[in-house]
Structures are given as C-alpha cells and as structure tokens.
Amino acid sequence: MNACIRAVVKYGLQLGYRIVGIEDGYLGMIEGRFVELDYSNVNNIIQLGGTILGTARSEEFRTEEGRKKAIGNLRKEKIDALVLIGGDGTFAGGHVLSEEAGISVIGIPATIDNDIIGTDHTIGYDTCLNTVIDAVDKIRDTATSHHRIFFVEVMGRNAGFIALNAALASGAENVLIPEEKTDIKQLAKEILHQNNGQRSTIIIVAEGDDGGGAIEIMEKVRPLLPPGYDMRHSILGHIQRGGRPSALDRIIATRMGALAVELLNKGKSELYIGVQGEDLCLNELLSKSTSTAKLDHLKLELLKKLQTQ
C-alpha cells in the first residue's frame, strides 16, 4: 500500500493539491487523526510492506453518529475527495460517505485474498503469493529428505486464490479450497497414489476449507492411510501479510494511485480501479461484483489433471 500512497502524494502535489493522510482509516477519521503529507513523507517507502498510515477496523463508523463525527472532521480539514485503499468494507464506507457528505471517492483494491471482481490483481496478493511459494519450497526440502507428507495451511477464509495459485507454482500434489467440497476419502486415495514411489507430498490447505484447517485435515486423513506414513503440518499464518512488496505489486499500486488522482482531478467519483491484463480499468465502487470470489476454475482443472499423472 505504501507504493500507492507514494503515487497519490507525488502526483497530487504535482497537480497543486494539498494531500492529507488519515491514520488508521475510518477510525482515525472519526478521531481526527490527520497528517499533511509532502515529498519527504513518502521518500523511501516504496520498498516497505504494510502502510505508513496504519489501518484499523471501526465499528463506530458503521453508526450514523460515528459517521457524523468523521464527516465533521473531514469538513474541518477542508477535505473534499478521498482515495480509499482496501476491500469491500472500505469501499462500502466510501460509498456511504459520498452519499451523506457529497465527498468524491475513488477506491483502490488492496487485499491479499485477491477476491475483488473487476481486477486480475489486488495490491498485496502477488507479494503474499511469492511469500507462500518461498515457504513451500523450503518445506519441500525437508519433506523430500524425510519422506514426509506435509499439509501446509495458507490464508483464504472465503476465497482459494492464494492456495490454488501457490499449489500450481510450487508443484503441490493437491489443494483444498473453500470453493470446492473436500472429500477426505478421495484425498486419502490420491495421497496413496501420488506418494507411491515419491519422496514427498505437499498438500496446500486454504484456512477456510470446509474440511477444516491443515491440522484437522491431517488428522482426518491419518486413519485412512497405512501405518508408517509420516505426516506433518505447517501453518504459515501472518508471514503472508508482510515483507517487501514484489515488483508487480509496486508497479500496480503506483499506477493505480496515479490514476486515482487523475480521476478525482477530472471530477470522477464512486469508482474503483482494477487491472485486467496490462491495462487499468474502472468499476462501480459499490456493486455485487465486489463481494464475490472470482476463482479461475480452469486453473483448478489444470491442477487436477497434473495430480492424475
């Protein structure tokens, strides 16, 4: 997200605007935590993970009273346009602000889950995916050396993009995702087939899989395999949410940030930016499309074909 903040500040200042950062999102908006940003604030941040402005959930913002405080603070700071970096909740909040306060808003999708329709990539997803692949590559070394079956749990409570693409890129033997019902007996059969003569088996498990997390899946499979199969689990957890952003994330975030300023400069509002292929695209800020997953089932079919070899 820092690459995006940097682009908004630099391009906004170039066009002559006063740029203000809001600490911790809607919570900071309610509490009046604003900081004017200039070039010095955004130098040397493009390589940093996370966000220099911070982020936080705000239940108070969901109330009319909370939003009145936020709107009052925005008017006090003479803020008439917002660039929103986040997901569905962030966009929904921006839509309400636009309606209640007449403030122009442009959204930029940032979520490691990559579950926003209208964009091939969200900010953070590629970095997360590379972190997972690096971890799985390391796990594969010990799995191969010790002839083990590893169940690796990745993030993805409602969407399986991280799990599916990590499985493809790391050469995993199987993947379990929320979009597909898990058949434990069939999984055990596939493990027996795949592990015959192999030195390792990697199974990627999305945390939101209907069969459970990596530990639960492993324990369900254990009694279905012959004695002697050495099974282990690894939960990658929040390492997936940090680290230096990838080149792709930096480039996408920078392009989206600059376009957001350009759109606001032209008087546009109620839109969020996406990327399709090499091109940026525009979507309505609040629509059903932003709340549903977009899993590419062609990739899932490819992985299934590879599992049968």
Instruction: Pick the closest to residue 200 from 176, 170, 178 (CA basis).
Output: 170
Shared domain for 9 and 56, answered yes or no, is yes
One domain, residues 153 and 141: yes
CB proximity list for 288: less than 8 A, separation 6 or greater:
none
Q: Is 113 a catalytic residue?
A: yes
Identity at 260, one-letter amino acid code? A
* First and final C-alpha spacing in the chain: 41
CA distance 127 to 251: 12
How many structural domains does the chain have? 2
Is residue 114 within 8 A of residue 162, CB to CB? The reply is yes
**Are 95 and 154 contained in the same domain?**
no
- CATH no. for residue 200? 3.40.50.460
Domain presence at residue 41? yes
User: Does residue 63 belong to any structural domain of this protein?
Assistant: yes
Is 45 part of any domain? yes
Quickly state the pLDDT bin for 288 (edges 50, 70, 90).
low
What is the number of other CB atoms lying within 10 angstroms of the CB of residue 46? 17
The reported pLDDT for the residue numbered 194 is 78
* pLDDT average, residue stretch 247-268: 97
Does residue 307 sit within a domain? no
- DSSP structure class, residue 123: B
Domain that holds residue 215: 127-242
* Paired residues of 280 in beta bridges: 275
The position carrying tokens 């929904």 is 92
Q: What is the CATH number of the domain that holds 36?
A: 3.40.50.450
Residues 196 and 104 in one domain: no
Do 51 and 148 belong to one domain? Answer: no
* Integer Cα distance of 232 and 217 in angstroms: 11
Q: What is the pLDDT of residue 74?
A: 96
Mean pLDDT over 235-242 rounds to 93
pLDDT at residue number 198: 65
The confidence score (pLDDT) of residue 290 equals 64
161 and 82 share one domain: no
Residues 89, 194, single domain; the answer is no
Residues in the chain: 309
How confident is the model at residue 261, as a pLDDT?
Answer: 98
Check whether 124 has a pLDDT greater than 60: yes
The rounded percent of the chain whose pLDDT value lies above 70 is: 96
Q: Which residue has the tokens 């009145």?
A: 68
Question: Do 174 and 119 have their domain in common?
Answer: no
Tokens of 225: 């395999």
Q: Is the domain of 160 the same as that of 254?
A: no
This prediction's pTM: 0.90
Classify 212 as helix, strand or coil. Answer: coil
Residue 223 maps to a domain: yes
DSSP state, 60?
Answer: G
78's tokens: 């003479």
Residue 113 and residue 64 share a domain = yes
Looking at the domain assignment, is residue 177 inside a domain?
yes
Percent of the chain residues past pLDDT 90, beyond the cut = 81
Shared domain for 57 and 205, answered yes or no, is no
Q: Which of 24, 80, 88, 113 is catalytic?
A: 113
State how far the Cα of 121 lies from the Cα of 113, in Å rounded to an integer: 10
Q: Which of 26-30, 119-123, 127-131, 145-149 has the lowest mean pLDDT?
A: 145-149
CA–CA distance, 284 with 256 (Å, rounded to integer) = 15
Residues 71 and 87 in one domain: yes
